[in-house]
Chain A
């Protein structure tokens, strides 16, 4: 069953706390992504990972870092979260080497930073 999973689905944190968002996929996709989606807006790419320990900044990487130690797992870390990082975060994966490959999206994590 091709699936992208995200944990947790909902998270409330206080400003200054650390946040860890987890993403998993069972399709052996090399490429994985983290996006955020704010109300009324499209998706903004935070980081892209081409494989284990091969990560690149997206369009809005400031305030975030990522970790990919296994192909099937991709983590997003917020060190000292800020209120403007309140958003819905989506993880996605795709098959690399295939330009026609679509991205498969996880269910999202709704993060609130108070």
Chain B
């Protein structure tokens, strides 16, 4: 079945720097991708969801890139600020007939220092 690998597990950047988190997946037929943010001691909040038909998705202060050829999904936080300090998780919905499951990456703990 689908497997998701997320790197790096820990990332420390200075305020104003960019931060890039990458997930690779194995099933070339996977079509739906999600990024979640988890602030310390809190629950997971959806950051963005993308179809595989759209390669670049821009949010507020971040960009999600999807490279279907390399089966790679990345989250790029531009000009990170301390409020971005959190754990980030990618998730992939397997394209297995009606599956409701999401396969989560193991997470990246991002620390942004001022």
Contacts and interface: CB of A to CB of B under 8 A. Distances in A.
Interface of B: 6, 9, 31-32, 34, 36, 42-46, 49, 51, 89, 91, 93, 100-102, 104-107
Sort A-B residue pairs by CB-CB distance and give the 10 closest, nearest first.
Answer: A42-B106, A105-B44, A105-B43, A42-B104, A43-B104, A31-B100, A102-B46, A42-B107, A107-B43, A102-B49
A69 to B, nearest CB: 20
A58 B1 CA distance: 13
Nearest to B48: A102
Given A90-B43, A100-B32, A50 B100 contact: yes
A99 B106 contact: no
Contacts of A106: 43
Given A42-B106, A100-B32, A103-B34, 16 more contacts: A31-B100, A41-B107, A42-B6, A42-B104, A43-B104, A45-B101, A48-B100, A58-B101, A96-B100, A102-B46, A102-B49, A103-B91, A105-B36, A105-B44, A105-B45, A108-B42
